[in-house]
Amino acid sequence: MIKLALSDWQFLRILVIHQHYLMPGHGGGSRFNEFSRLWAAAGHEVTVIAGNLSYVTGKVPELYRGHWTTCESDGDVTVWRCHVPSSYGRSYLGRMWAFFGFTLSSATAAWRAGAHDIVIATSPPLITTIPAWLATRFKRSRVRMIFEVRDLWPESAITTNVLARDSVLTKLLFKLERWACRCADRVNVLTPAFRDDLISRGLVSAEKVVFVSNGADTELFYPASRDNAVRRDHQWADRFVVMYAGQHGRANALSQLLHAAELLRDRSDILIACVGDGPERLALIEEAQRKNLTNIFFYGPQTKAQMPDFINACDAGAAVLQNNPTFRTVYPNKVFDYMSCERPTVLAIDGIARKLVCDEARAGVFAEPENANQIASAIRRLADDPEECRVMGRRGREWVLMNATRQMLATKYLDIMKEMVSA
């Protein structure tokens, strides 16, 4: 394992509030699992406040049931698992109640977690900013706060028809977003488009914004043989496999992959493999069966440790979202993992993701979002040109190594925190 440099060393006590911090062995976004591990390995004291509900199973593991908070260790990182009401996955009203419950339990954990120099609240959900702000007030010494924007909320919820723009809840969330930007000493954004949006709406000044993007764990995700156990176990044989890895929700609009599979019926050598979970997965499986599609399969959620083998077993990755103007501002997480494993990307996301993958890294093929004809054509193009796949894959890995390794990004984040504490 590569450790962060200890030159110009300054000890920091870091508190991260992240409701969706992964439990050991679970799949999903692991940005702060890796950052926390690297910061702790560099000698800093790292504490994480997270929810106790598994977002893979939708249930609270037995270990945490009946406990308001549970303190445990994740390697050298201290983790407080906090109560999340079981209503989280039942409805949008149930989710709001679950967020309220986590706000209370996480505030308790923030009080009990001891003194810190800096607090990071990562959103969504926006409510992480409340216990983060409280943590800056609980202690007598000056505590700095970073508000991190992983997604534009509530705007993205509005454009995907999850929230009505004029509802009372939406107005409250916009006020909470504005308050979080005002209270924070720095606002970290995961894409330059987020920065432009926040500045244009007058929520922050340019001087207040910092940029630490998403990236890849290049020690875990690295190129390896295509002919591995995953390919053999799933009997993919010599088929050209395009893999989508991620959430199966409304925003992802995976029906566009079903429509592309219909257009590829004549290509028995092509398979679309979908890995992950979400509220739309069962309906997608039923629709594929109803249409008698044998060239698209849904493999369910996988652990983080299994994902490198799944990516290496495929020939190309897929990243898709709704044709929605808000999604022109995002970088899909899995694109970095595809590139790190030297797999080209079929990208049905316009905007800043297209600029990164297709223009800067030159590591993928663009298709208009929710345009099944273009997605099918992009898949055919890659399936018919293995040399182009190889070259795109190599360029993707090179770009990640130059710009977006977890070690590089963790060091950049740490430098920002040191500057804040020293100021």
Half-sphere exposure of 29 (CA within 13 A, CB side): 18
Mean pLDDT (10-residue bins), the chain, 423 residues: 54 94 80 94 95 79 90 94 80 73 92 92 92 85 91 87 86 94 96 94 96 92 94 95 93 95 96 92 95 95 91 97 92 94 97 96 97 98 96 97 95 95 85
Q: Is 169 exposed, middle or buried (0-12, 13-18, 19+ CB in 10 A)?
A: middle
pLDDT of residue 2: 47
Domain ranges in the chain are 13-215+405-422, 229-403
**So what's the pLDDT on residue 97?**
76
Spatial separation of the C-alpha atoms in residues 184 and 203, rounded to whole Å: 11
pLDDT tens-place string over residues 36-91: 999 999 999 999 999 998 876 677 888 888 899 999 999 999 999 999 887 766 66
- Residue 168 is predicted with a pLDDT of 87
- Taking only the tens place, the pLDDT of each residue in 284-316 is 999 999 999 999 999 998 888 899 999 999 999
Q: Specify the pLDDT at position 278.
A: 85
What is the widest separation between alpha-carbon atoms in the chain?
69
- Between CA 286 and CA 280 the distance in angstroms is 10
d(CA 327, CA 159): 9
Cβ pair 406, 34 in contact under 8 A: yes
Alpha-carbon dihedral sign for residues 339, 341, 342, 348: negative
The top-level CATH class assigned to 229-403 is alpha beta
At which residue do the structure tokens 């959430």 appear? 247
Q: Do domains 13-215+405-422 and 229-403 have the same CATH topology?
A: yes
Rounded Cα distance between 244 and 318, Å, is 5
Instruction: Decide which of 1.10.10.10, 2.60.40.650, 2.60.40.10, 3.40.50.2000 is the CATH code for 13-215+405-422.
Output: 3.40.50.2000
pLDDT at 91: 66
